[in-house]
Amino acid sequence: MDMVKRRINMKDIAKEANVSVATVSYVINKRKDQTIAEATIKRVEDAVKKLGYVPNLAAKALVENKSYLIGVVIPQTEPGKQFMFNNPFYSELLSSIEFVARERGYHVLISGTDVDQSYLEIAKKRSLDGIIIVGIHPDNYYENLTSTAIPVVLIDSYCNNLPFKTISIRDRESAKIATQYLINKGHKKIAFASGVITDNGVTYERYLGYKDALEEAGISVNKDYIYSGTVSQEYGKELGLEIAKKDDRPTAIFSTADIIAFGLINGLKKANLRIPDDISVIGFDDTWIARDCDPLLTTIKQDVFKKGEKAVDLILNGNNDENENIVLDIELIERESVAELKEVF
Amino acid sequence: MDMVKRRINMKDIAKEANVSVATVSYVINKRKDQTIAEATIKRVEDAVKKLGYVPNLAAKALVENKSYLIGVVIPQTEPGKQFMFNNPFYSELLSSIEFVARERGYHVLISGTDVDQSYLEIAKKRSLDGIIIVGIHPDNYYENLTSTAIPVVLIDSYCNNLPFKTISIRDRESAKIATQYLINKGHKKIAFASGVITDNGVTYERYLGYKDALEEAGISVNKDYIYSGTVSQEYGKELGLEIAKKDDRPTAIFSTADIIAFGLINGLKKANLRIPDDISVIGFDDTWIARDCDPLLTTIKQDVFKKGEKAVDLILNGNNDENENIVLDIELIERESVAELKEVF
DNA sequence: TAAAATTACTTAAGCGTTTAAGTTGGAGAG
DNA sequence: CTCTCCAACTTAAACGCTTAAGTAATTTTA
């Protein structure tokens, strides 16, 4: 007697339906290239229901060398720490990736970036079907990944020399648009507030766009107006307080993330400046936080859902050899945090 | 000639090190119950390095019926939608679960709640080593899960009749503490603002705690002061505007989530009420948002990291038969959003 | 009417591990 | 000098699935 509760497998189904395991496999996978009698299909399906069969993906993964698993790597604030989730942009992105992946029959494995263990190792171990890397990471990350056949999609990274697919927006142009918007409103003293500026990151691109706009308008870049810290409300707030105290205060600030802008607004208000009357702020991303600042934040909207969706699509449908780069559009959302500058003589 | 790039497996290592696959397996898993000569261990380890061997977890999972994978289920706002990530509490919790799991050599599979496919099925399919269910879910979720041997940990759920481990705080008591704090500050007209109140959810418990405090203080519960919507800043804001217009306005509001409190503050300010001078607000969770409202939000702090950590520990170390319930402590954090009520005669 | 094609299957090898059970040679015991 | 014991291995089955190749019966084609 078989007292131990065994896992129901294809063999059990085969026996119950009076067919071979191969047939069961064909029925379960609905294989179009196999011809199977309607009656047989029904017998198998009935057996599956009757016995409560659930396929074992580990076995499937073993023979197919495929896991129906997509890895998502999210940047950490610090090594050995948790990953960055105070920025709603990442939350929203992850949520959309998970949603789309699930629709496609895939699951999502999340991971912060571990210094000891390269993500490539995880990918190989788990036979991941693809890796979506969000944001910028230490260089050694990418190095290893090039040696593998696993599709890698980079979101918000400008490592153009690497054979990876990317999905991005025109960060430089977008930043230029934001800055030009401020310039068109009469601002000349425009500050730049961002997280750490890394070589291949979006932040650097956005910095370039900011510079482009200023230079094109004949405004020289004031090094005193360039602020770079962490992508967090804390930094924004700190910065708001600092800027408020400044002698030659800027009249507008372009922030590369809503969450920094949010902090900025808090800090500036704390220092009794009115926004946008005393100082204007423009953000980036259009996360929910932009819709719930006071004043409502004028910002560059990027379609976060689409960003996640396209990333999954690139992994699943993309030709692995091709080096695709998808570029999404942005939109400037005018709300309440930017004012026309009254000329002061 | 073997032109196709094959995956390096134990057999290759065995050949290279001149031992059997079994020995390789023993060395790689550092099995204490096997005696292996130092020299042999070194030979195997060298071969692993030389050939760049990475174990195949699918194969391991197949024989061990174990995946080193923990599933985390996060509530969705609506069926067929993405999961709830506007609430920083969930983000922070997920981040800590992932961090702790990774430390322990496990990975995290995330999933929103899919109506069609019960999570039990995913769990079986993937041989998950455990499931952490965050927040409250439709009843049929739990039903299926009882039939399996997979360890399930419920975070923020009061389904006490089910054979699951839980990890929670004393929600009722905590809400009572928050409400009593307001009462001690002289408030009598205290509103309650929450998400949907479900039978087994934390929200109901917090509602009870709110009621307890009022009743104990001899204040009758005013149905007009009970607001229940969604756990979002939008709802909070809407509510803030609504409450501001009210004839018999409450003097304080207890919100069951910081994010609602955040919205409330925005809405109330929009309606030209000063906080805490005109109306006090107390939150719950102490997510980062509490530290970045203006005014800073007085709130009930729960240790989100510990909540995640304990959940992982329960999955990995907990005796599967025992029905453990871990209860964590909370702390009231006094900030700026609650004022002493000046008696008005 | 025999050959070819098609339908509806089955057989069995293989994916990369783990592990219970066996083997071998040498050290220590009697 | 044989016997036992132990260290240091090896052998081979099993985990649950996929799939190329085979088979047998039936139908179509020339």
The least confident of A103-107, B143-147, B224-228, B242-246 is B143-147
| Closest Cα in chain B to A79 | B99
Please tell me the distance in Å from A313's CA to the nearest CA on chain B.
Answer: 17
The pTM of this model reads: 0.91
Residue A148 to residue B5: CA distance in whole angstroms: 10
Q: Which of A130, A69, A115, A83 is nearest to B68 (CA)?
A: A69
DSSP-derived secondary structure letter, B281: E
Q: Does the nearest atom of strand C lie within 7 Å of A34's Cβ? A: yes
Choice between B195 and A119, residue whose per-residue pLDDT is larger: B195
Helix H or strand E segment including B315: helix B304-317
Residues 37-56 of A with CB under 7 A from strand D: 53, 55-56
B148-155 mean pLDDT: 86
Mean pLDDT of B243-251: 95
Determine contact: A66 vs chain B, CB below 8 A: no
Distance CA A90, CA B86 (A): 11
Q: Measured between alpha carbons, how far is B179 from B45 in angstroms, rounded to an integer?
A: 61
Q: Is B23 exposed, middle or buried (0-12, 13-18, 19+ CB in 10 A)?
A: buried
Residues from chain B contacting residue A80 (CB–CB below 8 Å): none
Task: Tell whether the model's pLDDT for residue B37 goes beyond 80.
Answer: yes
Cβ-based contacts of B107 with chain A (< 8 Å): 109, 111, 122, 126
Report percent pLDDT > 70 for chain B: 89
Facing B112 at nearest CB: one of A58, A99, A270: A99
Strands A325-328 and A165-169 turn out to be parallel
pLDDT in the model for residue B2: 46
pLDDT at A143: 66
What residues of A are in contact with residue B95 (Cβ under 8 Å)?
82-83, 85, 112
Determine the nucleotide nearest to A12 by Cα–C1' distance: D16
A59 touches strand C (CB under 7 A): yes
B55, B83, B291 member nearest A95 (Cβ): B83
Cα–Cα dist A320/A130, whole Å? 10
- DSSP secondary structure code for residue B83 in this structure: B
Taking each helix axis from N to C end, the angle separating A10-17 and A38-51, rounded to the nearest 10 degrees, works out to 120
Q: Output the pLDDT for position A138.
A: 62
Which portions of chain A are predicted below pLDDT 50?
A: 1-2
How far is the C-alpha of B185 from the C-alpha of B182, rounded, in Å?
5
- CA dist A152 and A314 (Å) reads 9
Closest in A125, A127, A233 to B288, CB measured: A233
pLDDT band at B343 (very low <50, low <70, confident <90, very high): low
B63 Cβ nearer than 7 Å to chain D strand = yes
- Residue B1 pLDDT > 50, yes or no? no
Residue A94 CA, chain-centre distance (Å), reads: 6
Which of A23-32, A159-168, B94-103, B130-139 has maximum average pLDDT?
A: A23-32
- Percent of chain B topping pLDDT 90: 70
**Can you read off the two tokens belonging to residue A52?**
């409560």
Helices and strands (H and E) in chain B: how many: 12, 12
Element (H, E) at B235: helix B233-245
pLDDT at residue A2, rounded to an integer: 46
Strand C bases near protein CB (under 7 Å) are: 7-12, 14-21
Report CA-CA distances (Å) from B335 to A268, B177, B292, B332, B338. 19, 15, 11, 9, 8
* Nearest-angstrom CA–CA distance, A86 and B288: 7
Residue range B252-296, pLDDT digits in tens: 999 999 999 999 999 999 999 999 999 999 999 999 889 888 899
* Spatial separation of the C-alpha atoms in residues B245 and B240, rounded to whole Å: 9
Any strand C atom closer than 7 Å to A57 CB: no
pLDDT of residue B143: 66
- Residue A87 is predicted with a pLDDT of 83
More confident residue, B84 or A234: A234
